[in-house]
Amino acid sequence: MRIAMIGTGYVGLVSGACFSDFGHQVVCVDKDADKIAALRDGVMPIYEPGLEGLVEHNVGGGRLSFTTDLAEAVDGVDAVFIAVGTPSRRGDGHADLSYVYAAAREIATALTGPAVVVTKSTVPVGTGDEVERLIRETAPDAEVSVASNPEFLREGAAIADFKHPDRIVVGVEDDHARDVLEAIYRPLNLNKAPLLFTTRRTAEVIKYAANAFLATKITFINEMADLCEEVGADVQSVSRGIGLDNRIGPKFLHAGPGYGGSCFPKDTLALLKTAEDAQVPLRIVESVVKVNDARKRAMGRKVVKAMNGDVRGKTVALLGLTFKPNTDDMRDSPAISIVQALQDEGAKIRAYDPEGTEQAKLVLENVDFCDDPYTAADGADALVIVTEWDQFRALDLKRVTDILNQPVLVDLRNIYSADEANQAGLRYTGIGQPKKAV
Protein backbone atom coordinates (compact mmCIF):
# COMPACT_ATOMS: atom_id res chain seq x y z
CA MET A 1 0.00 0.00 0.00
CA ARG A 2 1.13 3.55 -0.62
CA ILE A 3 0.58 5.82 2.36
CA ALA A 4 1.05 9.53 3.06
CA MET A 5 1.30 10.54 6.72
CA ILE A 6 0.56 14.20 7.39
CA GLY A 7 2.31 15.39 10.55
CA THR A 8 5.55 14.05 12.00
CA GLY A 9 4.73 14.42 15.70
CA TYR A 10 4.60 11.44 18.03
CA VAL A 11 1.71 9.72 16.37
CA GLY A 12 2.61 10.49 12.76
CA LEU A 13 6.27 9.62 13.01
CA VAL A 14 5.81 6.40 14.97
CA SER A 15 2.88 5.24 12.82
CA GLY A 16 4.64 6.15 9.58
CA ALA A 17 7.82 4.35 10.61
CA CYS A 18 5.89 1.25 11.75
CA PHE A 19 3.75 1.10 8.58
CA SER A 20 6.92 1.25 6.48
CA ASP A 21 8.39 -1.50 8.64
CA PHE A 22 5.44 -3.70 7.60
CA GLY A 23 6.51 -3.16 3.98
CA HIS A 24 4.17 -0.33 3.02
CA GLN A 25 5.54 2.61 1.07
CA VAL A 26 5.29 5.65 3.35
CA VAL A 27 5.96 9.35 2.85
CA CYS A 28 5.83 11.51 5.98
CA VAL A 29 4.95 15.16 5.49
CA ASP A 30 5.51 18.15 7.73
CA LYS A 31 5.37 21.89 7.16
CA ASP A 32 8.39 22.37 9.43
CA ALA A 33 11.31 22.34 6.99
CA ASP A 34 13.93 22.11 9.76
CA LYS A 35 12.24 19.04 11.19
CA ILE A 36 12.10 17.36 7.80
CA ALA A 37 15.74 18.23 7.12
CA ALA A 38 16.71 16.78 10.51
CA LEU A 39 14.68 13.62 9.89
CA ARG A 40 16.38 13.17 6.53
CA ASP A 41 19.68 13.35 8.44
CA GLY A 42 18.42 10.70 10.86
CA VAL A 43 17.87 13.14 13.75
CA MET A 44 14.63 12.44 15.67
CA PRO A 45 12.56 15.43 16.89
CA ILE A 46 11.45 13.47 19.98
CA TYR A 47 12.96 10.96 22.35
CA GLU A 48 11.27 7.60 21.83
CA PRO A 49 13.09 4.33 22.48
CA GLY A 50 13.80 2.41 19.26
CA LEU A 51 12.49 5.08 16.89
CA GLU A 52 15.79 6.23 15.45
CA GLY A 53 16.83 2.71 14.47
CA LEU A 54 13.42 1.95 12.98
CA VAL A 55 13.48 5.11 10.87
CA GLU A 56 17.05 4.47 9.73
CA HIS A 57 16.25 0.88 8.77
CA ASN A 58 13.22 1.80 6.67
CA VAL A 59 14.71 4.89 5.07
CA GLY A 60 17.67 2.66 4.12
CA GLY A 61 15.25 0.09 2.68
CA GLY A 62 13.62 2.76 0.52
CA ARG A 63 10.20 2.37 2.18
CA LEU A 64 10.16 5.58 4.21
CA SER A 65 10.84 9.16 3.18
CA PHE A 66 10.24 12.69 4.42
CA THR A 67 9.06 15.78 2.60
CA THR A 68 7.51 19.21 3.11
CA ASP A 69 5.63 18.85 -0.16
CA LEU A 70 2.15 17.53 0.63
CA ALA A 71 0.98 17.50 -3.00
CA GLU A 72 3.90 15.33 -4.06
CA ALA A 73 3.36 13.00 -1.09
CA VAL A 74 -0.35 12.32 -1.70
CA ASP A 75 0.04 11.84 -5.44
CA GLY A 76 -1.24 8.35 -6.22
CA VAL A 77 -1.50 7.07 -2.62
CA ASP A 78 -4.06 4.56 -1.35
CA ALA A 79 -4.46 6.32 1.99
CA VAL A 80 -3.61 9.65 3.58
CA PHE A 81 -3.41 9.71 7.37
CA ILE A 82 -3.96 13.00 9.16
CA ALA A 83 -1.79 12.94 12.29
CA VAL A 84 -1.44 16.63 13.08
CA GLY A 85 -1.79 18.12 16.58
CA THR A 86 -5.14 18.82 18.23
CA PRO A 87 -4.04 20.90 21.24
CA SER A 88 -6.48 22.39 23.73
CA ARG A 89 -7.90 25.56 22.24
CA ARG A 90 -6.68 28.55 24.19
CA GLY A 91 -9.29 29.74 26.65
CA ASP A 92 -12.02 27.09 26.38
CA GLY A 93 -10.48 23.59 26.40
CA HIS A 94 -12.15 22.48 23.14
CA ALA A 95 -9.81 20.53 20.86
CA ASP A 96 -8.26 22.95 18.37
CA LEU A 97 -9.09 21.41 14.99
CA SER A 98 -7.61 24.11 12.79
CA TYR A 99 -4.59 21.96 11.81
CA VAL A 100 -6.82 19.00 10.97
CA TYR A 101 -9.11 21.09 8.79
CA ALA A 102 -6.22 22.86 7.07
CA ALA A 103 -4.69 19.46 6.29
CA ALA A 104 -8.03 18.19 4.93
CA ARG A 105 -8.32 21.17 2.55
CA GLU A 106 -4.74 20.76 1.35
CA ILE A 107 -5.22 17.05 0.79
CA ALA A 108 -8.39 17.72 -1.20
CA THR A 109 -6.56 20.09 -3.52
CA ALA A 110 -3.70 17.66 -3.99
CA LEU A 111 -5.47 14.33 -4.49
CA THR A 112 -5.02 12.88 -7.96
CA GLY A 113 -6.84 9.54 -7.68
CA PRO A 114 -9.17 7.61 -5.39
CA ALA A 115 -7.94 7.64 -1.78
CA VAL A 116 -9.02 7.04 1.79
CA VAL A 117 -8.40 9.98 4.11
CA VAL A 118 -7.94 8.68 7.65
CA THR A 119 -7.99 10.79 10.79
CA LYS A 120 -5.44 9.49 13.27
CA SER A 121 -5.25 12.65 15.35
CA THR A 122 -7.44 12.57 18.45
CA VAL A 123 -10.54 14.44 17.31
CA PRO A 124 -13.98 15.02 18.83
CA VAL A 125 -16.95 13.10 17.54
CA GLY A 126 -18.24 14.55 14.28
CA THR A 127 -14.83 15.73 13.04
CA GLY A 128 -14.76 13.04 10.34
CA ASP A 129 -18.07 14.39 9.00
CA GLU A 130 -16.59 17.88 8.79
CA VAL A 131 -13.37 16.60 7.18
CA GLU A 132 -15.50 14.88 4.54
CA ARG A 133 -17.59 18.00 3.98
CA LEU A 134 -14.47 20.16 3.56
CA ILE A 135 -12.90 17.74 1.10
CA ARG A 136 -16.08 17.53 -0.98
CA GLU A 137 -16.45 21.31 -0.91
CA THR A 138 -12.83 21.81 -2.05
CA ALA A 139 -12.73 18.96 -4.57
CA PRO A 140 -16.30 17.97 -5.55
CA ASP A 141 -15.08 15.33 -8.02
CA ALA A 142 -12.51 13.64 -5.79
CA GLU A 143 -13.10 9.93 -5.21
CA VAL A 144 -12.54 9.93 -1.50
CA SER A 145 -13.65 8.07 1.61
CA VAL A 146 -13.06 9.46 5.08
CA ALA A 147 -12.28 7.10 7.98
CA SER A 148 -11.32 7.38 11.62
CA ASN A 149 -8.45 5.34 13.06
CA PRO A 150 -7.60 6.54 16.57
CA GLU A 151 -4.26 5.56 18.07
CA PHE A 152 -3.62 4.07 21.49
CA LEU A 153 0.15 4.50 21.69
CA ARG A 154 1.84 5.32 24.96
CA GLU A 155 4.84 7.60 24.83
CA GLY A 156 7.95 5.66 25.73
CA ALA A 157 6.41 2.39 24.54
CA ALA A 158 4.95 3.62 21.28
CA ILE A 159 6.62 1.19 18.88
CA ALA A 160 5.75 -1.86 20.98
CA ASP A 161 2.18 -0.56 21.34
CA PHE A 162 1.90 -0.07 17.58
CA LYS A 163 3.25 -3.50 16.74
CA HIS A 164 1.41 -5.39 19.49
CA PRO A 165 -1.84 -3.52 19.96
CA ASP A 166 -4.66 -4.79 22.18
CA ARG A 167 -6.94 -3.78 19.32
CA ILE A 168 -7.10 -1.59 16.24
CA VAL A 169 -10.19 0.58 15.96
CA VAL A 170 -11.32 1.68 12.52
CA GLY A 171 -14.42 3.78 11.88
CA VAL A 172 -15.65 3.65 8.29
CA GLU A 173 -18.72 4.65 6.33
CA ASP A 174 -18.12 2.59 3.16
CA ASP A 175 -16.64 -0.70 1.96
CA HIS A 176 -13.73 0.84 0.06
CA ALA A 177 -12.36 2.48 3.21
CA ARG A 178 -12.83 -0.80 5.07
CA ASP A 179 -10.93 -2.78 2.41
CA VAL A 180 -8.02 -0.34 2.26
CA LEU A 181 -7.62 -0.19 6.06
CA GLU A 182 -7.92 -3.94 6.30
CA ALA A 183 -5.06 -4.25 3.81
CA ILE A 184 -2.95 -1.69 5.67
CA TYR A 185 -3.39 -3.46 9.02
CA ARG A 186 -3.19 -6.98 7.57
CA PRO A 187 0.30 -7.63 9.02
CA LEU A 188 -1.03 -6.95 12.53
CA ASN A 189 -4.20 -8.85 11.91
CA LEU A 190 -2.10 -11.90 11.01
CA ASN A 191 -0.71 -11.63 14.56
CA LYS A 192 -4.31 -11.82 15.76
CA ALA A 193 -4.65 -8.20 16.87
CA PRO A 194 -8.41 -7.64 16.81
CA LEU A 195 -9.42 -5.21 14.09
CA LEU A 196 -12.64 -3.59 15.26
CA PHE A 197 -14.69 -1.91 12.56
CA THR A 198 -17.27 0.61 13.72
CA THR A 199 -18.93 3.69 12.32
CA ARG A 200 -16.76 6.79 12.11
CA ARG A 201 -18.51 8.56 14.99
CA THR A 202 -18.26 5.50 17.23
CA ALA A 203 -14.51 5.23 16.59
CA GLU A 204 -14.11 8.88 17.54
CA VAL A 205 -15.94 8.30 20.82
CA ILE A 206 -13.93 5.14 21.60
CA LYS A 207 -10.69 7.12 21.68
CA TYR A 208 -11.96 9.67 24.21
CA ALA A 209 -13.79 7.05 26.25
CA ALA A 210 -10.61 4.96 26.53
CA ASN A 211 -8.46 7.85 27.74
CA ALA A 212 -11.15 9.13 30.10
CA PHE A 213 -11.58 5.66 31.58
CA LEU A 214 -7.83 5.22 32.14
CA ALA A 215 -7.62 8.69 33.71
CA THR A 216 -10.52 7.69 35.97
CA LYS A 217 -8.81 4.47 37.02
CA ILE A 218 -5.64 6.35 38.00
CA THR A 219 -7.59 9.02 39.84
CA PHE A 220 -9.61 6.41 41.68
CA ILE A 221 -6.52 4.68 43.02
CA ASN A 222 -4.94 8.05 43.87
CA GLU A 223 -7.92 8.88 46.08
CA MET A 224 -7.72 5.41 47.62
CA ALA A 225 -4.07 6.18 48.37
CA ASP A 226 -5.08 9.29 50.31
CA LEU A 227 -7.58 7.22 52.26
CA CYS A 228 -4.99 4.52 52.96
CA GLU A 229 -2.62 7.09 54.44
CA GLU A 230 -5.27 8.24 56.88
CA VAL A 231 -6.62 4.86 57.93
CA GLY A 232 -3.37 2.89 58.13
CA ALA A 233 -3.66 0.78 54.99
CA ASP A 234 -1.29 0.19 52.08
CA VAL A 235 -2.44 1.25 48.62
CA GLN A 236 -0.06 -1.04 46.74
CA SER A 237 -1.67 -4.06 48.38
CA VAL A 238 -5.09 -2.56 47.71
CA SER A 239 -4.16 -2.21 44.00
CA ARG A 240 -3.06 -5.82 43.92
CA GLY A 241 -6.06 -6.95 45.88
CA ILE A 242 -8.51 -5.36 43.49
CA GLY A 243 -6.42 -5.73 40.32
CA LEU A 244 -6.36 -9.53 40.59
CA ASP A 245 -10.07 -9.42 39.97
CA ASN A 246 -10.23 -9.96 36.19
CA ARG A 247 -13.14 -7.59 35.93
CA ILE A 248 -10.94 -4.78 37.27
CA GLY A 249 -7.48 -5.74 35.97
CA PRO A 250 -4.10 -4.73 37.43
CA LYS A 251 -3.07 -2.01 34.98
CA PHE A 252 -3.29 1.73 35.57
CA LEU A 253 -3.70 1.21 39.30
CA HIS A 254 -0.35 2.66 40.35
CA ALA A 255 -0.98 5.53 42.72
CA GLY A 256 1.24 8.52 42.10
CA PRO A 257 1.40 12.30 41.87
CA GLY A 258 -1.44 12.52 39.33
CA TYR A 259 -1.54 11.90 35.60
CA GLY A 260 0.04 14.31 33.12
CA GLY A 261 1.20 14.23 29.53
CA SER A 262 -0.02 15.34 26.19
CA CYS A 263 -3.15 13.18 26.15
CA PHE A 264 -5.14 12.57 29.34
CA PRO A 265 -5.36 16.21 30.50
CA LYS A 266 -6.20 17.53 27.02
CA ASP A 267 -8.55 14.72 26.04
CA THR A 268 -10.57 14.67 29.25
CA LEU A 269 -11.14 18.43 28.89
CA ALA A 270 -12.13 18.11 25.24
CA LEU A 271 -14.52 15.27 26.11
CA LEU A 272 -16.18 17.48 28.70
CA LYS A 273 -16.62 20.19 26.09
CA THR A 274 -18.23 17.72 23.67
CA ALA A 275 -20.53 16.55 26.47
CA GLU A 276 -21.42 20.11 27.35
CA ASP A 277 -22.36 20.84 23.73
CA ALA A 278 -24.43 17.66 23.63
CA GLN A 279 -26.02 18.65 26.96
CA VAL A 280 -25.02 15.37 28.54
CA PRO A 281 -23.20 15.93 31.83
CA LEU A 282 -20.24 13.59 32.37
CA ARG A 283 -19.96 14.04 36.11
CA ILE A 284 -17.41 11.30 36.65
CA VAL A 285 -14.98 12.76 34.13
CA GLU A 286 -15.60 16.25 35.55
CA SER A 287 -14.55 15.03 38.99
CA VAL A 288 -11.53 13.22 37.62
CA VAL A 289 -10.24 16.42 36.01
CA LYS A 290 -10.74 18.45 39.20
CA VAL A 291 -9.27 15.83 41.52
CA ASN A 292 -6.21 15.33 39.34
CA ASP A 293 -5.53 19.06 39.00
CA ALA A 294 -5.71 19.54 42.75
CA ARG A 295 -3.54 16.51 43.39
CA LYS A 296 -0.50 17.78 41.51
CA ARG A 297 -0.17 20.85 43.71
CA ALA A 298 -1.06 18.85 46.82
CA MET A 299 2.10 16.83 46.15
CA GLY A 300 4.10 20.01 46.82
CA ARG A 301 2.37 20.27 50.22
CA LYS A 302 3.17 16.63 50.88
CA VAL A 303 6.86 17.39 50.43
CA VAL A 304 6.60 20.41 52.74
CA LYS A 305 4.96 18.22 55.37
CA ALA A 306 7.70 15.59 55.06
CA MET A 307 10.17 18.41 55.74
CA ASN A 308 8.40 19.28 58.99
CA GLY A 309 6.27 22.04 57.53
CA ASP A 310 8.90 24.60 56.64
CA VAL A 311 10.91 24.74 53.44
CA ARG A 312 11.83 28.42 53.35
CA GLY A 313 15.47 28.74 52.31
CA LYS A 314 15.83 24.96 52.13
CA THR A 315 16.90 23.01 49.06
CA VAL A 316 14.69 20.30 47.59
CA ALA A 317 16.19 17.93 45.03
CA LEU A 318 13.78 16.40 42.51
CA LEU A 319 14.51 13.23 40.57
CA GLY A 320 12.50 12.98 37.34
CA LEU A 321 10.67 15.88 35.75
CA THR A 322 8.94 14.41 32.71
CA PHE A 323 5.33 13.26 33.11
CA LYS A 324 6.50 9.65 32.99
CA PRO A 325 9.73 7.76 32.23
CA ASN A 326 11.23 7.14 28.77
CA THR A 327 10.12 10.42 27.28
CA ASP A 328 11.39 13.98 27.24
CA ASP A 329 7.81 15.27 27.35
CA MET A 330 7.06 17.83 30.06
CA ARG A 331 3.49 18.60 29.02
CA ASP A 332 1.24 18.83 32.08
CA SER A 333 3.87 17.01 34.11
CA PRO A 334 3.09 16.89 37.86
CA ALA A 335 6.67 18.13 38.36
CA ILE A 336 5.64 21.58 37.11
CA SER A 337 2.99 22.07 39.82
CA ILE A 338 5.24 20.53 42.47
CA VAL A 339 8.13 22.87 41.66
CA GLN A 340 5.82 25.89 41.67
CA ALA A 341 4.19 24.90 44.96
CA LEU A 342 7.59 24.43 46.63
CA GLN A 343 8.99 27.66 45.22
CA ASP A 344 5.89 29.51 46.48
CA GLU A 345 6.78 28.22 49.95
CA GLY A 346 10.31 29.60 49.59
CA ALA A 347 12.22 26.42 48.69
CA LYS A 348 15.19 26.31 46.32
CA ILE A 349 14.89 23.60 43.68
CA ARG A 350 17.52 21.33 42.21
CA ALA A 351 16.58 18.70 39.68
CA TYR A 352 17.83 15.87 37.56
CA ASP A 353 16.02 14.16 34.68
CA PRO A 354 17.65 11.63 32.34
CA GLU A 355 16.10 13.00 29.12
CA GLY A 356 13.81 15.90 29.98
CA THR A 357 16.20 18.68 31.03
CA GLU A 358 16.03 20.65 27.79
CA GLN A 359 12.22 20.58 27.74
CA ALA A 360 12.09 21.28 31.48
CA LYS A 361 14.19 24.41 31.04
CA LEU A 362 11.44 25.80 28.81
CA VAL A 363 8.75 25.49 31.47
CA LEU A 364 10.53 25.76 34.83
CA GLU A 365 12.21 28.85 36.19
CA ASN A 366 14.88 29.20 38.86
CA VAL A 367 15.74 25.52 38.92
CA ASP A 368 19.31 24.35 39.28
CA PHE A 369 19.58 21.45 36.79
CA CYS A 370 22.09 18.73 37.68
CA ASP A 371 23.86 16.01 35.70
CA ASP A 372 23.10 13.03 37.90
CA PRO A 373 20.97 12.02 40.91
CA TYR A 374 23.77 12.25 43.46
CA THR A 375 24.84 15.75 42.44
CA ALA A 376 21.22 16.80 42.84
CA ALA A 377 20.98 15.21 46.30
CA ASP A 378 24.32 16.53 47.56
CA GLY A 379 23.63 18.95 50.44
CA ALA A 380 19.86 19.07 49.76
CA ASP A 381 17.32 19.02 52.60
CA ALA A 382 15.12 16.43 50.91
CA LEU A 383 15.17 14.13 47.90
CA VAL A 384 11.89 13.71 46.00
CA ILE A 385 11.31 11.03 43.37
CA VAL A 386 8.74 12.48 40.97
CA THR A 387 9.13 10.20 37.92
CA GLU A 388 10.01 6.50 38.11
CA TRP A 389 12.88 6.32 35.61
CA ASP A 390 14.60 2.91 35.85
CA GLN A 391 17.89 4.51 36.83
CA PHE A 392 16.30 5.78 40.09
CA ARG A 393 15.20 2.30 41.14
CA ALA A 394 18.54 1.16 42.48
CA LEU A 395 20.05 4.25 44.05
CA ASP A 396 22.69 3.69 46.71
CA LEU A 397 20.45 4.80 49.58
CA LYS A 398 23.27 4.83 52.13
CA ARG A 399 25.21 7.20 49.92
CA VAL A 400 22.05 9.31 49.51
CA THR A 401 21.71 9.50 53.31
CA ASP A 402 25.33 10.56 53.64
CA ILE A 403 25.18 13.36 51.09
CA LEU A 404 21.78 14.79 52.01
CA ASN A 405 21.75 17.63 54.51
CA GLN A 406 18.58 16.15 56.03
CA PRO A 407 17.81 12.44 55.49
CA VAL A 408 14.37 12.96 53.93
CA LEU A 409 13.17 10.82 51.00
CA VAL A 410 9.76 11.52 49.43
CA ASP A 411 8.91 8.80 46.95
CA LEU A 412 5.90 9.86 44.87
CA ARG A 413 6.04 6.64 42.79
CA ASN A 414 6.52 4.08 45.56
CA ILE A 415 9.65 2.61 44.01
CA TYR A 416 11.25 2.06 47.43
CA SER A 417 9.83 0.51 50.56
CA ALA A 418 9.78 2.38 53.85
CA ASP A 419 11.82 -0.45 55.40
CA GLU A 420 14.75 -0.29 52.97
CA ALA A 421 14.82 3.50 53.15
CA ASN A 422 14.71 3.44 56.96
CA GLN A 423 17.48 0.86 57.06
CA ALA A 424 19.65 3.22 55.03
CA GLY A 425 18.90 5.95 57.57
CA LEU A 426 16.30 7.88 55.56
CA ARG A 427 12.97 9.27 56.78
CA TYR A 428 10.59 7.94 54.14
CA THR A 429 7.28 9.23 52.79
CA GLY A 430 5.58 7.26 50.03
CA ILE A 431 2.14 7.39 48.47
CA GLY A 432 -0.77 5.67 50.19
CA GLN A 433 1.30 3.95 52.85
CA PRO A 434 0.40 3.61 56.47
CA LYS A 435 2.08 6.21 58.67
CA LYS A 436 4.50 4.74 61.12
CA ALA A 437 7.12 6.06 63.47
CA VAL A 438 10.57 6.27 61.91
Which residues have a catalytic role annotated?
A: 263
> What phi-psi label fits residue 232: left (phi over 0), alpha (psi between -120 and 50 degrees) or beta?
left
Residues 317-336 that bind ligand UGA (CB under 6 A): 323-324
Distance set, CA 248 to CA 122, 154, 241, 257, 425 (Å): 26, 20, 10, 22, 38
Q: Is 264 in the site for ligand UGA (CB under 6 A)?
A: yes
- Sequence length of the chain is 438
Residues 350-389 that bind ligand UGA (CB under 6 A): none
The answer to whether 304 touches 245, Cβ cutoff 8 Å, is no
Radius of gyration for the chain, computed over Cα atoms and rounded to the nearest angstrom? 24
Least distance in angstroms from the C-beta of 153 to ligand UGA? 5
Name the packing angle between helices 200-231 and 235-243 (round to 10°): 140
Least distance in angstroms from the C-beta of 346 to ligand UGA? 27
> How far, in Å, CA of 1 to CA of 215, rounded?
36
119 DSSP β-pair partners: 82, 148
79 DSSP β-pair partners: 3, 116
In the complex with ligand UGA, which residue's Cβ is closer, 142 or 215? Answer: 215
Q: Is 31 in the site for ligand UGA (CB under 6 A)?
A: no
Residues 226-255 that bind ligand UGA (CB under 6 A): 252-254
Least distance in angstroms from the C-beta of 206 to ligand UGA? 11
Residues 96-125 that bind ligand UGA (CB under 6 A): 122
Least distance in angstroms from the C-beta of 272 to ligand UGA? 16
Q: What is the x/- site pattern for ligand UGA, positions 119-158, by CB under 6 A?
A: ---x----------------------------xxxxx---
In the complex with ligand UGA, which residue's Cβ is closer, 260 or 373? Answer: 260
Q: Is 47 in the site for ligand UGA (CB under 6 A)?
A: no
Size of the site for ligand UGA (CB under 6 A): 21
Q: State in Å, rounded, how far the first CA of the chain is from the last one.
A: 63
Tell me which stretch binds ligand UGA (CB under 6 A): 12-20, 211-219, 396-404, 429-437.
211-219
At residue 122, the 3 state secondary structure works out as: coil
